[in-house]
A and B are shown apart, each in its own frame.
Chain A
Amino acid sequence: MDAKDILGLPKTPFSTSQEKKSRPPKEPQRKPDGVSREVYALTGGVGMAPLMPTIEASHLKRRPAAEKEKVAWQWLPFTSSARSDNLQLYHWVRVVNGVPPTGDYQFAKYNKKVDVLKYTDEEYEKYLIDPAWSREETDQLFELCERFDLRFIVIADRFPTTRSVEDLKSRYYSVSRSLLIHRARSFDDVSGNPLVKDSYDAAHETERKRALSALLSQTKQQERKDAETLAEAKRIMESRAASKNLDEAGMPSSSDNAMVPVDGVSPLSGTHPPLTHPNTAANSSIPNSLRTLRVYLRTHALDQMVQAASASAGLRVIKRVDQTLQDLGVNLKPKVPTKAVCVEHLELRNEILTLLNLQKQLQNKEAEVSANRESSFTEAPSTPKRSNRDIDRTFIPDTIGFSGERAGKRDHKRKTTGRFIDAPPSPTQSKRPRKLKGSD
């Protein structure tokens, strides 16, 4: 089966080769008229289909050669093999030289019928009995299948008892399938038949429709939420990969999304990671995208610089910067964006970024200190460290003894982070920030 079959063309390979031979040998080299040399060169000359029609314009102006044939349209009766009632209908037909077209009605071939299998009483008794279906129901189903060409929606509508479309389909296909299998001499004969190869799975179909209707009946809001969640997940995956790369390269990761190792020997535990935002220096200068412009608005420049400054921060951090600005009573976009105001505004944003960074570090530090303490009491020095999650899980019962100290530490937090104020003074809670972070 190939394209030729579909198009109904002869399959003989000779026709093309004969055509080639019949051409004068010089033909491929010569450039056909009406095609420019450059275009012809692109086709490679030989053996390729022309890129554009090579019919000369003068050909089109000439009247067609077959001028002599007389074409008339006549109102004539016709019969169609697709009809069984011998109804006589008329239509307009093209009559060339007084000879009306013969043969079957040209659209009769589209009258396709489904071959619905018929079963005998014996076959039914032997193979087709199903406790959920009576013989009468099955007969009705097959009759309707024949009548409505397997349009199951219509069949379900006409079916005397209420049965779901999936129910009807399931019965029809399972009956047809077992009939085919039992009538065949061996299973191999019919193993290629689509009815045998792919059995109908009603449960799967029901689930598919349910999922589809759930998807289609989603509100815009849900859709937006889903998109947000997916975007967030993607961001987390990326930041995780990035922090992993950083750690593998042996570099301290100070980015907001990077996980700060908790164990004692982490490169961060001794010294602070750089506290200033890495972009600070570049912020006050005009971004390159504006340098090439001959004229721009000050606010555009500020927008671009704000974007550049927060490029390394996550969406959540950017939102928190904006929130902090609002809390400070500062307009997110300056009302009088003079150069000095813009510089100050950028500086303020950078300082807020630094502040948020510090808050995060302090949280990490607290978690680190408590984790280290707990680990040093419960584990022998030689014991290999477990992962953070293990530590969290292992130490929950052991930490009661620290509650007094934790309460003291919590006071720091109340002043500094303000984010976990509501956390009860249990160490398990205090570690949550880091845990969240891991999946942040």
Chain B
Amino acid sequence: MKRPPPPPPPPPENNKKLKDVEISFPIVYGTISFWLGKKASEYNSHKWTVYVRSANNEDLSVIVKRVVFQLHPSFQNPTRVVEQPPFELSESGWGEFEIAITLYFHSDVCEKRLDLFHQLKLYPEEEAGPQSTKKPVIVETYDEIVFPEPTEAFFQRVQNHPAANVPRLPPGITLPPSGSMEIVPYEKKRGDTKDHALSQWFSNFSEADELLKLAAARQQVQAHIAKLRRQLTMMEGMPQQSKVLSGPGQQFGHI
């Protein structure tokens, strides 16, 4: 297997960590499974692909060095290592199981690995109708890989990369201009998944929809809170008269 070229070694002076900065990479991981229809046999009924991709289908190899998919022990060589984008693996089988996906990053990004877990789904829900060879079963999960306090070198390397969410630097921190280093040398082979064979099945994850829904819910709750507050203030006046009557020296009603 061909190893990807190593990332540029960060200059030592750029190893300083940036406080209060986090870089995040929106990702999507999941499986797409096709029923083989007439070609299905007892132990080979589905062809499926498990993958980790950037949420906007950009090249994840800017941070990811290697992805290890841990399959069910009944597969031959159940530990599958993918060292090149796209980080995906296709297999065929008949059973659903949990796939452990481990991401290893380039050394300037992070020494630690990251574990994801995905439940392979081959058979459609009953309400989705009968199995068909045309319509695959897709389960995808959106998440974001967060790197808190990145090094300056890492920040500079990815700050213009389309796969990354890079914040504006807090005031007071300036990075030295990064000369010709900007050209990232790993783009020999395209690592993005924009023209991926399965891309028509990729789901869209809309942050705006989610935010709208949350905003509506918050509005409802806030209105409710305001109403309750008014009622409480109204009731405030009522106990006054009885308080005058009850003398000092009372005990709290402990039980």
Contact = CB atoms under 8 A, between A and B. Distances in A.
B197 interface: no
A423 interface: no
A301 B26 CA distance: 14
A385 B143 contact: no
Contacts of A261: 252-253
Given A272-B232, A295-B147, A412-B231, A264 B242 contact: yes
A328 interface: yes
Interface string B179-221: 0000000000000000000000000011101110111011011
A246 B253 CA distance: 14
Given A247-B254, A365-B235, A366-B235, A295 B228 contact: no
Interface string A229-250: 0000000000000001001000
A183 B83 CA distance: 92
Nearest to B27: A297
* Interface size classification for chain A: 35 or more
B1 interface: no
A338 B221 contact: no
B111 interface: yes
A396 interface: no
Given A358-B225, A362-B231, A369 B239 contact: yes
Contact of B211 (A301, A344, A385): A344
A437 to B, nearest CB: 10
Nearest to B225: A355
A48 interface: no
Contacts of A259: 253-255
A298 B254 CA distance: 45
Given A269-B239, A328-B220, A298 B144 contact: yes
B128 interface: no
Nearest to B241: A376
Nearest to A385: B250
Contact of B239 (A324, A337, A344, A372): A372
Contact of A329 (B142, B213, B245): B213
Contacts of A391: 253
A139 to B, nearest CB: 63
Contacts of A344: 211, 214-215, 218
Contacts of B165: 339
Tell which of A365, A381, A439 has the most Cβ of chain B within 10 Å. A365
A329 B210 CA distance: 11
B248 interface: yes
Interface in A344-385: 344-345, 347-348, 351-352, 354-355, 358-359, 361-362, 365-366, 368-369, 372-373, 375-376, 381-382, 384-385
Interface in B102-121: 105, 109-112, 114, 116
A301 to B, nearest CB: 7
Please classify the interface of chain A as helix (H, G, I), strand (E, B), loop, or mixed, using the class held by over half of its residues: helix
B251 interface: yes
B22 to A, nearest CB: 8
Contact of A337 (B144, B227, B246): B144
B243 A265 contact: yes
Contacts of A426: none
Interface stretch (A76-84, A141-149, A286-294): A286-294
B245 A381 contact: yes
Given A329-B213, A330-B214, A373 B242 contact: yes
Given A261-B253, A339-B144, A348-B217, A369 B235 contact: yes
B206 A384 contact: no
Contacts of A133: none
Contacts of B231: 362, 412, 416
Contacts of A329: 213, 217
B175 interface: no
B255 A334 contact: no
B235 A362 contact: yes
Given A298-B144, A358-B225, A384 B239 contact: no
Contacts of A385: 246, 250-251, 253
A185 interface: no
A63 interface: no
B225 A266 contact: no
B250 to A, nearest CB: 5
A269 B237 CA distance: 10
A341 interface: yes
Nearest to A435: B255
Interface string A124-142: 0000000000000000000
Given A295-B105, A328-B220, A368-B239, A338 B144 contact: yes
B169 interface: no
Nearest to A324: B221
A265 B253 contact: no
Given A290-B148, A375-B246, A388-B253, 18 more contacts: A259-B255, A263-B251, A264-B243, A275-B229, A294-B112, A294-B148, A295-B145, A295-B147, A299-B143, A301-B146, A337-B143, A355-B224, A362-B228, A365-B235, A376-B241, A376-B246, A385-B250, A389-B255
9 contacts: A264-B242, A295-B110, A297-B116, A336-B142, A338-B207, A347-B218, A351-B218, A369-B242, A384-B251
Closest 10 CB pairs of A and B: A372-B242, A298-B144, A388-B253, A261-B252, A264-B243, A358-B228, A264-B246, A344-B214, A376-B245, A328-B217
Interface of A: 244, 247, 259, 261-266, 269, 272, 275, 286, 290-291, 293-299, 301, 324-325, 328-330, 334-341, 344-345, 347-348, 351-352, 354-355, 358-359, 361-362, 365-366, 368-369, 372-373, 375-376, 381-382, 384-385, 387-389, 391, 412, 415-416, 438-439
